[in-house]
Amino acid sequence: MVKLPVAILGSGNIGTDLMYKVRRSALLELQLVAGIDPASEGLARARELGFETCTDGIEGVLRNGKIKLVFDATSARSHLAHAPRLKAANIFAVDLTPAAVGPGVIPVVNLQEYSTESNVNLISCGAQASVPIVAAINKISPVQYAETVSTISSRSAGPGTRQNIDEFTRTTARSVRDIGGAKESKSIIVINPAEPPIIMRNTIYAVVDLPVDEKKVRDSVMAMAEKIKCYVPGFKVTVEPFLDGDHFTVCNEVTGAGDFLASYAGNLDIITAAAINVAERYAETFWKGRQAAND
């Protein structure tokens, strides 16, 4: 299969980690890494690996002409400006910023619903690690209320998250309802500065209608975990779902693949891995679409 030509917009930590992941992909061809800072370490690494780079951001992407999909790893404000221009150029946008121009996607839960979109958003790391668990429980017994607690290492909490921490809790909680299926929700983030840095961990509490078949819930959650592991190998359920009064408790941790970001930064890895998964699914349908048009 011919690989889908893609670009990475943003040469910070996330953009650089994406670069290593795209490089490994059998379905994606990295055409360009677009930054704005000529002195950026990410751009230097991209050049070292033999990738084309530019320092005028979105302009370079639009100039290229071949690119069909862009990973936007800049900032919410930048993505708001990029989104209409990418759409006009018929370039699919995988948005890793909190801009949320397009619908939120969790690959294992709702990606199929958005096959005709031109812009999708990855929500938050907490959502990527928690919403699938809520959805898995909700499939067995309606979740009346779900609560997610994401604990990340201080070193992996970037300035964007820190300066706008309310946004993290709000968007994560919203996706727990809209995508996970919970009727009500609350999301919490805790930052831990321990050295060596802690691995990202998430706890999901789900209040369900009783009585409930505990084994079915457990099987559903563990099956979901297997699906997540297909694209996030470091995802692991550390406390299997158990019923405590009116709610289930489930804990997981996410060890990063260590592509560029350190392995403790599972919170960043799960979002870049989800982005690659979305792009690969798009690449498959893109070529299928082409084929159908030619038939």
- Annotated catalytic sites, by residue? 125
Q: Check binding of 191 to other proteins (CB under 8 A).
A: yes
Identify the residue among 112, 115, 164, 285 touching other proteins (CB under 8 A). Answer: 164
Q: Check binding of 188 to other proteins (CB under 8 A).
A: yes
Which tokens hold the place of 138?
């909700």
The stretch among 87-95, 105-113, 183-191, 225-233 that binds other proteins (CB under 8 A) is 183-191
Which tokens hold the place of 80?
């708001």
Q: Check binding of 230 to other proteins (CB under 8 A).
A: no
Please count the other Cβ atoms lying within 10 Å of the Cβ belonging to residue 73: 28
DSSP 257-288: --SSS-TT-HHHHHHHHHHHHHHHHHHHHHHH
Is the CB of residue 18 less than 8 Å from the CB of residue 276?
Answer: yes
Quick one: 44 or 212, whose CB is closer to other proteins? 212
The amino acid that residue 295 corresponds to is D
Q: Check binding of 198 to other proteins (CB under 8 A).
A: yes
Contacts to other proteins from residues 200-219, by CB under 8 A: 201, 203, 205, 207
Is the CB of residue 292 less than 8 Å from the CB of residue 119?
Answer: no
C-alpha span between 212 and 214 (Å, rounded): 6
Quick one: 49 or 190, whose CB is closer to other proteins? 190
Binding residues for other proteins, per CB under 8 A?
147, 149, 151, 154, 157, 159, 162-166, 169-170, 186, 188-194, 198, 201, 203, 205, 207, 238-240, 247, 249, 251
